[in-house]
Structure 1
Amino acid sequence: MDLYLPVRPTEEVNLGASIVISENILPRNRQGAHRSDPIEVAVQLLSRDAVDGADLSSGKIDGALAVRREHVVEADSSRNIELASRRVEYIVSVPDDPDRWFIAAFSTVGDGNPREDLADALVEWFDAVMATFRWRRG
C-alpha cells in the first residue's frame, strides 16, 4: 500500500531505513465463512516464527490484536544483499474484519551494523510510532 524512505541526509547521516505498509486478506472457506479468528492467526505467527530465532511478542494496538516480530537478516552476496538489516514487523488484526490484517514493516541497516546504537534508536523510534497508531473509525 505504502513505502516510506528517508531521501535527504540528516546531520550528514544518511539513514538506511524504510517502512512498508501492506494489507493481507485471509481467504475464506468454501462456504464464505472466516477461516480462523485473530487469536488463532496470532498463535500460528508466534509458533511458526519462533523457530527462526526472531524476537516475538503479542499485545494490542488501539484495541486490536497485534504480533511484533524482530529479526536480523544477514548479508548475502549471492543475492546481492551487501549489508545485514534489522527488521521489525507489526502484524495487526483489523477491527471488525477477522480476515484482514494490517502490516507495518520497518527495516534498517543502521550505521552498517544492524545491532549497533543507531539501529537500536531507529527501532525504538518505530516502536514509538506503532505505540501511537490509532484506527480511524468511520
Structure 2
Amino acid sequence: MASAFARVPADIPRDKLTPLRVELERRLRAAVAEARKANALELYLPMRLAGDVNLGASIIISEALLPARARSDGAADKASAPAEIALQLLSGDTAANMDVSSGEVDGALALRRERVAPAVADRGAEMASRRVDYFVSVPGDPGRWFVAAFSTVGAGDPRDDLADALVEWFDALMTTFRWSWT
C-alpha cells in the first residue's frame, strides 16, 4: 500500500494524508472480504498510478463447480456438459441485459459476458462499473469452470475511453490464457 502513496507530493501535510490512507486500507479490506465471501482464489487490484491515471479496476479469479444433474429416475448423473451450460447462459433471461458470446480459450469452451453494473452505494460501489466475466470449462472435468471476473470504473464512466482500453487489455489477457498442468 505504501507504493500507492509514493507519488504524493512531499508538501501535503500528514494530517491530510492519514485519512486517505485509512480510507484506502478500509476499502482494500472490504474488497478482500467480498472476494472471500465469493470464494475467490485470487484478487488483483492495481495499487499504483499508471502515469497520472489511477486504474480503477480489479480481477477476481474463482472456480465454479456445477452440481450433478438429476436423472429422470431421481438419481444424480454426471455434471452437465460444458456445451449445455453455455447454451443455458447464452439463452437465459439475464443474457438480454448484457453482451454474451462463446468461443474457445486454449482449446476449452469459453463464455464471455459483459455488462454495466449500476452504482450500489450501500455496498461500497459509489460508481457504475463495466464488468467482463470469462467462464472457461476445465478440460477433462465437465463439472469445473475457471472464472475470471474483471471490473473497471474507467475514468469515472464505465463506457469511456479508459474503460474501453482496460476491457480490451483484459480480453487480450484472457485470449492468451493457457492451461498448465503440473
Q: TM-score range by the shorter chain?
A: over 0.9
Q: Which amino acid aligns with 1:23?
A: E
Say which one has the larger Rg: 2
How much does 1:38 deviate? 0.5
Q: Quick check: 2:127–2:156 contact (8 Å CA) kept in 1?
A: yes
More helix by share: 2
Residue in 1 that maps onto 2:95 = 50
Q: Which runs of 5+ in 2 are unaligned?
A: 1-40
Q: Secondary structure of 1:23's match?
A: strand
Residue in 2 that maps onto 1:24 = 64
Q: Secondary structure of 1:34's match?
A: strand
Q: Which amino acid aligns with 2:77?
A: A
**Is 1:90 matched up with 2:134?**
yes
Alignment: residue pair count: 137
Q: TM-score, normalised by structure 1?
A: 0.92
Q: Which amino acid aligns with 2:164?
A: D
How much does 1:112 deviate? 0.5
How much does 1:32 deviate? 5.5
Q: Which 10-residue stretch deviates more, 97-106 or 7-16?
A: 7-16
Q: TM-score, normalised by structure 2?
A: 0.71
Q: Which amino acid aligns with 2:48?
A: R
Q: Which runs of 5+ in 1 are unaligned?
A: none
**Is 1:128 matched up with 2:169?**
no
Q: Which amino acid aligns with 1:27?
A: P
Q: Percent identity?
A: 61
Distance 2:69 2:95 in 1: 27
Q: Which 10-residue stretch deviates more, 114-123 or 35-44?
A: 35-44
CA spacing shift, 1:29–1:43, aligned 2, 3 Å? closer
Q: Which amino acid aligns with 2:44?
A: Y
Structure 1 runs, 4 residues or longer, greater than 4 Å off = 29-32
Aligned-CA RMSD value: 1.5
